[in-house]
Structure 1
Amino acid sequence: MANAWWGSHLLSPGADDDLWAVSSAPVTRGQLRTAVADLGRVFREQGITEGSSVLLRMKPSFTYIHVLLALWSRGAQVTLVDFRLRPAEYEPLVDLVRPQYVVAAAGAEGPVAGFRQESGFTVQRLPQGRPAADGIRLVQFSSGSTGRPKVIGRAAASVLAELDRHAALPGIPGPRDRVLLLNSVMHNMGLVSGVLHALAVGATLIVPPTLRPAEVVRLMARTQATAVYGTPVHYDLLTRLAGRPELPALRLAVSGGERLPQETYDGFRAHFGVPVNPVYGLTEIGLLAGDLTGTCVPPQLGPPVPGAEVKVVGDELHVRMDSSPYLYGEHADRFTDGWLRTYDRVHQDPASGVLSLLGRSDSLVVVGGLKVDLAEAESVLLAHPRVSEAVVTHGEVIEAYVGADRALTPDELVVWCRERLSPVKIPKRFSVLPRLPRNSTGKLVRDRAQLRGRVTSESSSQVQGER
Structure 2
Amino acid sequence: METDPGWVDEVLLSGPSDGVCLRLPAPVDRATLRRLVADAQAGLDAAGLRPGGAAALRLPPSLAYVVHLLATWRVGAQAILLDHRLTDHEVDRALRRLTPQVVVAPVRTGGGALRVFVDVTAGVTGYADRPAVSGHAVIQLSSGSTGPSKVIGRTAADLVAEVRRYTRIDGVALPGERIVLLPSMVHVLGLVGGLLYGLHAGVELVPPERLSGDAVLAAVAAADTPATVLGVPFHIGLLASTRPGGPLPQFKRMTTGGELVPAAVARAFTDRFGVPLGNMYGMTEVGVIGTDLYGRHRPAIAPAPGIEVRAVDGELWVSCPASPYVGLSDPTRWADGWLRTRDAGTVDPDTGLVTVRGRLDSQVSVGGMKVDLTEVETCVAELPGVAAAVVLWDDGITAYVQPDGPLSEEVLDKLLAERLAGYKRPRVLRLLDQLPRTTTGKLVRSPDALRSAATP
Deviation per residue, 1:256-308 (Å, 9 max, x gap):
011011112111111111121101111011011002233122x32x1111100
448 and 52 in structure 1: CA distance in 2 versus 1, 3 angstrom threshold: farther
Given that 1:24 and 1:117 are in contact with CA atoms closer than 8 Å, whether structure 2 keeps it comes out as no
Instruction: Give the C-alpha shift of residue 226 in structure 1.
Output: 2.1
Q: Which residue of 1 aligns with 2:410?
A: none
1:3 counterpart letter in structure 2: P
Given that 1:268 and 1:275 are in contact with CA atoms closer than 8 Å, whether structure 2 keeps it comes out as no
> How many correspondences in the alignment?
383
Instruction: Give the C-alpha shift of residue 215 in structure 1.
Output: 1.8
Deviation per residue, 1:56-113 (Å, 9 max, x gap):
1011111111110011110110110111112333322222222222111125799834
Q: Which moved more, 1:273-282 or 1:133-142?
A: 133-142
Q: Which residue of 2 aligns with 1:57?
A: 58
Question: Could you tell me how far apart the structure 2 residues matched to 1:464 and 1:137 are?
Answer: 36
239 and 56 in structure 1: CA distance in 2 versus 1, 3 angstrom threshold: same
Listed as ranges, the matches of 1:359-370 within 5 Å are 359-362=358-361
The answer to whether structure 1 residue 336 and structure 2 residue 335 are counterparts is yes
The answer to whether structure 1 residue 2 and structure 2 residue 1 are counterparts is no
Question: Could you tell me how far apart the structure 1 residues matched to 2:453 and 2:230 are?
Answer: 38
Instruction: Give the C-alpha shift of residue 191 in structure 1.
Output: 0.8
The answer to whether structure 1 residue 44 and structure 2 residue 45 are counterparts is yes
Deviation per residue, 1:200-242 (Å, 9 max, x gap):
0111111112111112211211123421111111011111113
Q: Which residue of 2 aligns with 1:304?
A: 303
Q: Which residue of 2 aligns with 1:33?
A: 34
Deviation per residue, 1:390-448 (Å, 9 max, x gap):
xxxxx80488979xxxxxxxxxxxxxxxxxxxxxxx9979xxxxxxxxxxxxxxxxx98
Listed as ranges, the matches of 1:37-186 within 5 Å are 37-107=38-108, 112-116=113-117, 118-127=119-128, 130-143=130-143, 147-186=147-186
2:313 counterpart letter in structure 1: G
130 and 398 in structure 1: CA distance in 2 versus 1, 3 angstrom threshold: farther
120 and 244 in structure 1: CA distance in 2 versus 1, 3 angstrom threshold: closer
Question: Could you tell me how far apart the structure 1 residues matched to 2:50 and 2:207 are?
Answer: 30
Question: Could you tell me how far apart the structure 1 residues matched to 2:29 and 2:94 are?
Answer: 35
Q: Which residue of 2 aligns with 1:190?
A: 190
1:449 counterpart letter in structure 2: P
Given that 1:17 and 1:29 are in contact with CA atoms closer than 8 Å, whether structure 2 keeps it comes out as yes
Question: Could you tell me how far apart the structure 1 residues matched to 2:97 and 2:108 are?
Answer: 24
TM-score by length of 2: 0.77
111 and 86 in structure 1: CA distance in 2 versus 1, 3 angstrom threshold: farther
Given that 2:78 and 2:137 are in contact with CA atoms closer than 8 Å, whether structure 1 keeps it comes out as yes
Q: Which residue of 2 aligns with 1:449?
A: 426
1:396 counterpart letter in structure 2: A
Instruction: Give the C-alpha shift of residue 18 in structure 1.
Output: 1.6
Other structure's SS at 2:210 match: coil
Instruction: Give the C-alpha shift of residue 130 in structure 1.
Output: 3.7
- For structure 1, list consecutive stretches of 5 or more residues without a partner in the other structure: 364-394, 403-425, 430-446, 454-462
Question: Could you tell me how far apart the structure 2 residues matched to 1:253 and 1:46 are?
Answer: 41
Question: Could you tell me how far apart the structure 2 residues matched to 1:146 and 1:268 are?
Answer: 28
Deviation per residue, 1:348-390 (Å, 9 max, x gap):
2222211122111248xxxxxxxxxxxxxxxxxxxxxxxxxxx
Instruction: Give the C-alpha shift of residue 116 in structure 1.
Output: 3.4
2:151 counterpart letter in structure 1: V
Question: Could you tell me how far apart the structure 1 residues matched to 2:355 and 2:8 are?
Answer: 36
Other structure's SS at 1:319 match: strand
2:353 counterpart letter in structure 1: V
CA RMSD of aligned residues (A): 2.9
Question: Could you tell me how far apart the structure 2 residues matched to 1:244 and 1:260 are?
Answer: 25
Question: Could you tell me how far apart the structure 2 residues matched to 1:428 and 1:268 are?
Answer: 20
Other structure's SS at 1:449 match: coil
Other structure's SS at 2:332 match: helix
214 and 192 in structure 1: CA distance in 2 versus 1, 3 angstrom threshold: same
Q: Which moved more, 1:138-147 or 1:55-64?
A: 138-147
Instruction: Give the C-alpha shift of residue 151 in structure 1.
Output: 0.7
Given that 1:19 and 1:26 are in contact with CA atoms closer than 8 Å, whether structure 2 keeps it comes out as yes
2:222 counterpart letter in structure 1: R
